[in-house]
Structure 1
Amino acid sequence: MQSNDSITKKTSASTKHLPESKAGSQSDTVKPAHSRGKKFLSYYKPYMGLFFADIACALIVSATTLLLPLCAQYITKNILQGHDPHQLHDISLMGAFMLALVVVQALCTMFIDFQGHMMGARMQSDMRTELFEHYQKLSFSFYDEQKVGQLMTRLTDDTFWLSELFHHGPEDIVVTFLTATGAFLILAKINLVLTLLLFLFLPIMIVYAWHFNKKMNKALRSSKDRIGDINAQVEDTLAGIRVVRSFTNEESEKRKFAYANRRFLASRSDGYRSEAYFFGGLGVFAQLMTIAVIVLGGIAVVHAALDLADMLTYLLCVGILVDPIKKLINFGELYQEGITGFQRFMEVLEIEPNLQDAADARELAQVRGNIEFQAVSFRYKEGHRDVVKNLSLRIRAGDYIALVGPSGVGKTTLCSLIPRFYDVSAGKILLDGYDIRDVTLRSLRRNIGIVQQDVYLFAGTIAENIRYGKLDASEQEIIEAAKKAHAHDFIMELPDGYDSDIGQRGVKLSGGQKQRLSIARVFLKNPPVIIFDEATSALDNESEKAVKDSLEKLSDNRTMLVIAHRLSTIRNAQRILVLSESGISEQGTHEELITLNSAYANLYNMQAKI
């Protein structure tokens, strides 16, 4: 067997892009990405009413924008040059009409800015929820290969830019198309030749934008990966801050952070350079269009091909035409930020968990606790050696089984296969006669309680952490569970008792106290199958004895598997299995194995001398 007693592993694959790190039989698979466009549009579906209202307001804003220069043309050409006897009255009416247009435009713009942004925020919330729920489904093998900071970046930063694209994208496209089309028609009506000359700039602008657009996309993707690296480094350092300080390795952590920070800075430098060329160049083209109108329009006025009133209207329309160009530029930025975020978002969402319920999976009910391993083999990845090889084992309901052996022989791995944290590579595991792959994961794990060697407590109160074993538990049930785990006394000594805040990962508690709270959670869950992975490893002798007595009481009519290094805690086990690299080398009661005077006896005698 390999040294895989500790399930959680960090590998160099965590720095790769997600699809590349999914090799191996135990890894999650990646779905084809052919339906991403359809998936992108699907997020609009719950908000179609708001979406159409937003687009309608965008249309009104475009229409009012085009009407204002036409109103100016009407005043200068029809009223001022038309010898209108009611000039002041008509100018006042037209002014009032233009003011009304401005009011309508302002109201629609405010609607777009508020409700449009809220639509994008709701869609972002939906995506975050979907991705978070997907994270919950992915198997342990996925998390063995990934960094938490990178996964957090995909959940937060990437979805933010997506919300901006969801809102501004369609709106900017509609406004740009309608305003540019309307402005072109107005300009063409005033002077077709000048308009055609003006629009010769567009093909050049498109080629220029396309070239730097590709560079921006590459740079933005790189910067998103680098900010994920920074988040991963910060999360790793802060989570282990006590280890960092105990080894006085602050400078080492600073160097690692500086390296990640420099890589991010380099990626942003490339991105900002491309953005500068992209936006600066397009801005120059917009200004060149205005200069061309002034110069060519002035020549047309000199040659009487254009009068001053039309020249004024023309300049106003060109000013309007610059606005959709700016929106197009803004859309280019949003598109690059949003689409790279969407690609990273979908990379995770397209990973299908390798551990899923079968189509005809049944719900487990009235579980007794009979467990059987039938020729089970397991390896973490293809090409690796088997951690468990051709192991057969039968555990009757209510049996109290202990697993012992040196580190690295697969004790924890063996127990991780029962709740199906990983799937067997060969053979099968039965629970009450049912292959665990043929029952729902939820019902399987609902009937199994686990106390892990690496205790994890959530930020919050003691009561909240114990209640995690049964979310609808009453206060009295929580107290009873704490008493069974011999945690009640130390809890009541705390200033706020069960309402005491324990800090991130329970940092305000001792190792033994954290272990007893994790045991209390399992007491509260009260499942028919219980797995204790070095559950008393962090306890002092007095606490160990108290918990040992509680475990033996809890083992009545329940299937109990205990992984133990302290052999004194499992002397009363009905059967002790001694694991070695070749499998189960010995099994029997404590007395039988001592009489055998082999591997178990050697381990026991060695500990007795300490």
Structure 2
Amino acid sequence: MKLKRYWKKIKEDKAKGKDYFRWLIYYTKPYMWKIGLLMAVSILMTFVSIQYAMASRNLIDLAGGGKITIGATVVFIILIVLMQVVNPIMDLFTAMMYEKYTFGIRKQVYDKLLYSEWLGTQRFHTGDMMTRMTSDAGSVADGMVGVIPEIIVLLIQLVAVFITLYGYSPFLAIFALFLTPFGLLLTFIIGRKLKRLQVKVLESETAYRSFIQESLANLMVVKAFSNEEQFSDKLAELREKRFYWVWKKNKLSVGSNVVMNGTFQFGYMIAFVYAANQIAKGEITYGTMTLFLTLFARVQGPIASLARQLPGVVSIFAAAGRIMDIQDIPLEEREESVEMNGAVGIEVSNMSFAYSKENILKDVTFDIKPGEFVAIIGKSGIGKTTLIRVLMNFITAQKGIVEYYDTFGTRTKTSASVREFVSYVPQGNTLFSGSIKDNVLMGKLDATEEEMWEALDMAVCREFIEKLPDGIDTVIGEKGVGLSEGQAQRIALARALIRKSPFVILDEATSALDEQTEYELLKRLGGLSPKPTCLLITHRTSVLKYCSRELVIDDGHVTMKDL
């Protein structure tokens, strides 16, 4: 029964391996000709090294005969200089291509996350996604730029050197090649185990990176509960787990290298004794002995290198599998953009949504007219934010219809493209590090200075910005460090309002504002022409006086009532 499961697992791994290989080829296509050029130069340098070995023999034999020619010396020097010049250039070229290849994968994975379904991306911790985009992308790049081309070159080197050595000593050539089956057998035995250990190493790296990222992002909470020591101990615990898997992986890899190198040293010893015996019999010269040993080592070298490359090959497929997990996230549905004119309303018919089996929203039906201000007030966890995510297509309803429409009757079903005419201010601090100006212009990249200040005035920002040392160019930290919560919230409002969208969603967007500032903001928003439609999620009943209707969520059902 165990044997049956074993072979089933081998078949599954083989099928996955084919998928990984196709994925790797797809991502490597733009770099194929550069990798090919590197391989061609490497193969050329293989023949140069063979010529160097033969030139060394000639020089030694000439020296033994008491006469060194200028021609032989010049050839020897040229070959040394050629190797010393070409190899560093190749190293530099390889390093630069590695960087481009790595960035290429990271960019494509990043773009994939940007355009994928939001809910699909939430399966991954931010630290996990960072590990896949950095360490895993680096492993794939190192493998495709370095390991795989080197394996191909090593195989060509093996054939070329074997043929050359066979021409001088068939016995040594065949004896050296006898070690190949041993290398292949060792590769097969440890390959599967190494892959499993490599996955464990990557998972442990994800765990500690995720922990660091999350704890630093919430450093104030850690300090507030005096948990510094506990968090430090937790990081040490995660480090020990990582050390454990790294130790097991490296121990297996080093152990296999020790066995392989020991075998090759034994083979080299046999070759040395054989060549010395040939000299004793007067059948070869000292130069020929040097050539024998050099070529024998160059036959063994590719075989040993192939075995040492195994961890790199394993890393490629392990890392590729983890990156492909992100590639498997479905892309967002994006309908063709529709131009909406005037104010925009939204009609929801028989819509239901569930994160798992239990419905959060059940057969929801309502109609928000263009230009209306509608409030959603209720306790936490009743589905307010979930409803907003459905309306903006961050998540897709399992059933029902959600349509936006303008005052002229143009309609469009909800998809990622509706965000082009919807402005959204999420709850919490969502500012980026950089200048205040940079944060505001995220809402509209091509906005003029006049448009920017118009949005800042609408969000009641001018007074506090003009008091800052660098004004609009003041640099703030991550999540608005350097500003008060109220100031950060108003900057986020300006970022949304600069778009002048006909539909505005404010999710607890005035919670940090005093009542007077909130009044000024909503008054200015309602005074725009055409008047935008505004959906406000809040716990503050003071907002109700600015709204014409209230949307009530109760046990997943939604009703509308006039105010």
After TM superposition, the score normalised by the length of structure 2 is: 0.91
User: Post-superposition shift, 1:80?
Assistant: 6.6
The residue aligned with 2:49 is 65
Whole-angstrom CA distance in 2 between matches of 1:214 and 1:519 = 54
Alignment of structure 1 residues 464-483 onto 2, 5 Å: 464-483=438-457
The residue aligned with 2:416 is 441
Q: Deviations over 1:30-72 (max 9, x none)?
A: x998543233123343334433321221111100111122223
Q: 2:25 aligns with which of 41, 48, 72?
A: 41
The residue aligned with 1:402 is 375
The residue aligned with 1:183 is 161
Q: How many residues align?
A: 545
Check whether the contact 2:136–2:323 (CA below 8 A) recurs between aligned residues: yes
Alignment of structure 1 residues 314-463 onto 2, 5 Å: 314-353=292-331, 355-357=332-334, 361-367=335-341, 368-381=343-356, 383=357, 385-432=358-405, 437=413, 441-442=416-417, 444-463=418-437
Check whether the contact 2:522–2:546 (CA below 8 A) recurs between aligned residues: no
The residue aligned with 1:125 is 103
Check whether the contact 1:60–1:105 (CA below 8 A) recurs between aligned residues: no
Check whether the contact 2:176–2:300 (CA below 8 A) recurs between aligned residues: no
The residue aligned with 2:7 is none
The residue aligned with 2:9 is none
Q: Describe the shift of the 1:305–1:350 C-alpha distance in structure 2 as closer, same or farther (beyond 3 A).
A: farther
Check whether the contact 1:429–1:435 (CA below 8 A) recurs between aligned residues: no
> Counterpart of 2:340 in 1: which secondary structure?
coil
Whole-angstrom CA distance in 2 between matches of 1:480 and 1:290 = 81
> Counterpart of 2:497 in 1: which secondary structure?
helix
User: Post-superposition shift, 1:147?
Assistant: 0.8
Q: Deviations over 1:217-247 (max 9, x none)?
A: 2212111111111110001100000111111
Check whether the contact 1:398–1:555 (CA below 8 A) recurs between aligned residues: no
Check whether the contact 2:340–2:410 (CA below 8 A) recurs between aligned residues: no
Whole-angstrom CA distance in 2 between matches of 1:130 and 1:586 = 44
The residue aligned with 2:35 is 51
Corresponding letter in the other structure for 2:26: S
> Counterpart of 2:512 in 1: which secondary structure?
coil
User: Post-superposition shift, 1:251?
Assistant: 1.9
Q: Describe the shift of the 1:541–1:336 C-alpha distance in structure 2 as closer, same or farther (beyond 3 A).
A: same
Q: Deviations over 1:465-499 (max 9, x none)?
A: 11111111122221221111111111111111111
Q: Describe the shift of the 1:333–1:106 C-alpha distance in structure 2 as closer, same or farther (beyond 3 A).
A: farther
Q: Describe the shift of the 1:66–1:338 C-alpha distance in structure 2 as closer, same or farther (beyond 3 A).
A: same
Q: Does residue 116 of structure 2 align to residue 116 of structure 1? A: no
Check whether the contact 1:57–1:109 (CA below 8 A) recurs between aligned residues: no
> Counterpart of 1:156 in 2: which secondary structure?
helix
Check whether the contact 1:44–1:51 (CA below 8 A) recurs between aligned residues: no
Whole-angstrom CA distance in 1 between matches of 2:37 and 2:184 = 30
The residue aligned with 1:209 is 187
> Counterpart of 1:187 in 2: which secondary structure?
helix
Check whether the contact 1:363–1:440 (CA below 8 A) recurs between aligned residues: no
Q: Deviations over 1:318-368 (max 9, x none)?
A: 233344245324432322333322222222113223x322xxx32210244
Which stretch of the first structure deviates more once superposed, 579-588 or 445-454?
579-588
User: Post-superposition shift, 1:194?
Assistant: 3.4
* Higher RCO, 1 vs 2 (CA within 8 Å, ≥6 residues apart): 1
Q: Deviations over 1:3-41 (max 9, x none)?
A: xxxxxxxxxxxxxxxxxxxxxxxxxxxx99854323312
Q: 2:245 aligns with which of 244, 248, 267?
A: 267
Whole-angstrom CA distance in 1 between matches of 2:26 and 2:255 = 34
Which stretch of the first structure deviates more once superposed, 181-190 or 224-233?
181-190
The residue aligned with 1:236 is 214
After TM superposition, the score normalised by the length of structure 1 is: 0.84
Whole-angstrom CA distance in 2 between matches of 1:41 and 1:422 = 33
Whole-angstrom CA distance in 2 between matches of 1:57 and 1:141 = 47
User: Post-superposition shift, 1:461?
Assistant: 1.0
The residue aligned with 1:148 is 126
> Counterpart of 1:387 in 2: which secondary structure?
strand
Q: Describe the shift of the 1:92–1:431 C-alpha distance in structure 2 as closer, same or farther (beyond 3 A).
A: same
User: Post-superposition shift, 1:137?
Assistant: 1.6
Task: Using the aligned pairs only, state the percent identity.
Answer: 23
Whole-angstrom CA distance in 2 between matches of 1:392 and 1:39 = 44
Q: Describe the shift of the 1:285–1:194 C-alpha distance in structure 2 as closer, same or farther (beyond 3 A).
A: same
The residue aligned with 1:488 is 462
> Counterpart of 1:526 in 2: which secondary structure?
coil
> Counterpart of 1:472 in 2: which secondary structure?
coil
Check whether the contact 1:120–1:163 (CA below 8 A) recurs between aligned residues: yes
Check whether the contact 2:340–2:421 (CA below 8 A) recurs between aligned residues: no
Corresponding letter in the other structure for 2:350: A
Whole-angstrom CA distance in 2 between matches of 1:195 and 1:427 = 74
Whole-angstrom CA distance in 1 between matches of 2:152 and 2:379 = 68
Q: Describe the shift of the 1:488–1:290 C-alpha distance in structure 2 as closer, same or farther (beyond 3 A).
A: same
Whole-angstrom CA distance in 2 between matches of 1:146 and 1:182 = 48
Q: Does residue 505 of structure 2 align to residue 531 of structure 1? A: yes
Whole-angstrom CA distance in 2 between matches of 1:337 and 1:159 = 10
Corresponding letter in the other structure for 1:37: F
Gaps of 5+ in 2: 1-14
Q: Describe the shift of the 1:393–1:521 C-alpha distance in structure 2 as closer, same or farther (beyond 3 A).
A: same
Check whether the contact 1:378–1:386 (CA below 8 A) recurs between aligned residues: yes
The residue aligned with 1:279 is 257
The residue aligned with 1:5 is none
The residue aligned with 1:505 is 479
Which stretch of the first structure deviates more once superposed, 449-458 or 171-180?
171-180
Q: Describe the shift of the 1:310–1:411 C-alpha distance in structure 2 as closer, same or farther (beyond 3 A).
A: same
Check whether the contact 1:577–1:586 (CA below 8 A) recurs between aligned residues: yes
Q: Describe the shift of the 1:158–1:582 C-alpha distance in structure 2 as closer, same or farther (beyond 3 A).
A: closer
User: Post-superposition shift, 1:530?
Assistant: 0.7
Whole-angstrom CA distance in 2 between matches of 1:411 and 1:68 = 76
Q: Describe the shift of the 1:176–1:306 C-alpha distance in structure 2 as closer, same or farther (beyond 3 A).
A: same
Whole-angstrom CA distance in 2 between matches of 1:164 and 1:54 = 14
Whole-angstrom CA distance in 2 between matches of 1:75 and 1:60 = 22
- The root-mean-square deviation of aligned C-alpha atoms, in Å, is 2.4
Whole-angstrom CA distance in 2 between matches of 1:145 and 1:48 = 33
The residue aligned with 2:8 is none
